[in-house]
């Protein structure tokens, strides 16, 4: 089997280093290049050595255009601004794209949709197989339990995480909204402070915790008079996300252009994401 040439964007970050190490340890993959933004102290460094793996003979570069053009897949866990630029380059080069960046706006996500007209794009808030299954369970539970069951999503991550609520928490809330048949933007509540009054019926609430080195914990709570159902996922190592992203990169080989997510990669949904209503995309 021919190795898949992969570029890792943001190779010096915590996830970037895990991705480099995972690519290096995956027999069917070849690290074609690694990038970091202008001014990064990691520019010029060997991405393998930086990640605690074997030397690759490569140097982390600032300009992604040439690397993306020479790759089969680019894996991007960076920033919204960088991801949009990488999506444009990938579409122009015919290079598949795997995106795990969180905090993307609707406009940013539209850029991925545009790129997906030309290349396969896998976009997921979380690349863990367990979270992928949790999304489906949450949607099913929300469909089965009416609005008498209040829904709250509690998430905790390490102190360095810059966005809140997490992308995974929002994906879980969107899954619940799809199950209920409601518009997520209308029913979500991300902040509670002061005299809030009684909770509105049907609201989907969020609570965010940050501290220490917590990799990622998510609880989806369905609470009503007399009982409470909690669906949970706890990640103890980032490697599960890196392994999922590399699995997604391998999965793109030979796929038609389209916007996909981890349910497609795991075979939980066979059809491309363009055939799914907008409300269900990226869940």
* 233 strand-pairing partners: 218
Question: Going by CATH, does the domain composed of 129-235 fall within 3.30.360.10?
Answer: yes
- What pLDDT is attached to residue 125? 84
pLDDT at 277 over 60: no
> pLDDT (tens digit, 9 = 90+) per residue, 216-232?
999 999 999 999 999 99
Query: Known catalytic residues?
Result: 157, 161
> pLDDT (tens digit, 9 = 90+) per residue, 154-194?
999 999 998 899 989 999 999 999 999 999 999 999 988 88
Rounded distance between C-alpha atoms, residue 18 and residue 110, angstroms = 28
The model scores a pTM over 0.75:
yes
- Asked whether the beta carbons of 216 and 166 are under 8 A apart, the reply is yes
Least confident of 11-15, 97-101, 265-269: 265-269
- Asked whether the beta carbons of 252 and 96 are under 8 A apart, the reply is yes
Stretch 249-272: mean pLDDT:
87
pLDDT at 272 over 50: no
- What pLDDT is attached to residue 185? 95
Concatenate the DSSP letters of all residues of the chain into one string: -PPEEEEEETTTSHHHHHHHHHHHH-TTEEEEEEE--TT-TTTTS-HHHHTTS---S---BS--HHHHHT-SEEEE-S-HHHHHHHHHHHHHHT-EEEE------HHHHHHHHHHTTTSEEEE-S---HHHHHHHHHHHHHHHHS-TTSEEEEEEEE-TT--SSS-HHHHHHHHHHHHHHTS-HHHHEE----SS--SPPTT-EEEEEEE-TT--EEEEEEEEETTEEEEEEEEES-THHHHHHHHHHHHHTTTPPSEEE-HHHHTTS--S-GGGS-GGGTT-
Rounded distance between C-alpha atoms, residue 102 and residue 89, angstroms = 19
Q: Which CATH architecture has domain 4-127+238-280?
A: 3-Layer(aba) Sandwich (3.40)
Q: Which residue has the tokens 């609570």?
A: 207
Rounded distance between C-alpha atoms, residue 91 and residue 257, angstroms = 10
Domain ranges of the chain: 4-127+238-280, 129-235
* 185 strand-pairing partners: none
Rounded distance between C-alpha atoms, residue 221 and residue 187, angstroms = 16
pLDDT at 202 over 70: yes
Q: Same CATH fold, 129-235 and 4-127+238-280?
A: no
CA-based nearest residue to 281, from 171, 183, 176, 116: 171
Rounded distance between C-alpha atoms, residue 137 and residue 119, angstroms = 30
- What pLDDT is attached to residue 278? 42
């Amino acid at each position: 089997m021919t190795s898949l040439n992969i570029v890792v964007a943001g190779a010096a970050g915590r996830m970037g280093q895990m991705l480099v190490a995972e690519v290096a340890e995956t027999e069917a993959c070849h690290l074609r290049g690694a990038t970091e933004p202008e001014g990064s102290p990691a520019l010029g460094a060997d991405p393998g050595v930086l990640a605690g793996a074997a030397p690759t003979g490569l140097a982390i570069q600032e300009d992604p255009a040439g690397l993306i053009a020479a790759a089969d897949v680019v894996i991007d866990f960076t920033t919204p601004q960088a991801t949009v630029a990488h999506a444009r380059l990938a579409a122009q080069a015919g290079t598949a794209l795997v995106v795990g960046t969180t905090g993307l706006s609707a406009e940013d996500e539209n850029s991925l949709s545009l790129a997906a007209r030309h290349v396969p794009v896998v976009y997921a808030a979380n690349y863990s197989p367990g979270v992928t299954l949790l999304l489906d369970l949450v949607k099913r539970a929300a469909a089965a339990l009416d609005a008498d069951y209040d829904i709250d999503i509690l998430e905790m991550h390490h102190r360095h995480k810059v966005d809140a609520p997490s992308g995974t928490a929002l994906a879980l809330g969107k899954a619940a909204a799809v199950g209920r048949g409601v518009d997520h933007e209308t029913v979500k509540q991300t902040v509670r402070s002061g005299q809030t009054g009684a909770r509105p019926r049907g609201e989907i609430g969020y609570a965010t915790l940050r501290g220490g080195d917590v990799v990622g914990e998510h609880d989806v709570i369905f609470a009503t008079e007399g009982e409470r159902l909690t669906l949970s996922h706890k990640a103890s190592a980032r490697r599960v996300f890196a392994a999922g992203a590399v699995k997604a990169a391998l999965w793109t080989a030979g796929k038609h252009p389209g916007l996909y997510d981890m349910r497609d990669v795991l075979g939980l949904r066979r059809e491309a994401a363009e055939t799914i209503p907008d409300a269900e995309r990226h869940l």
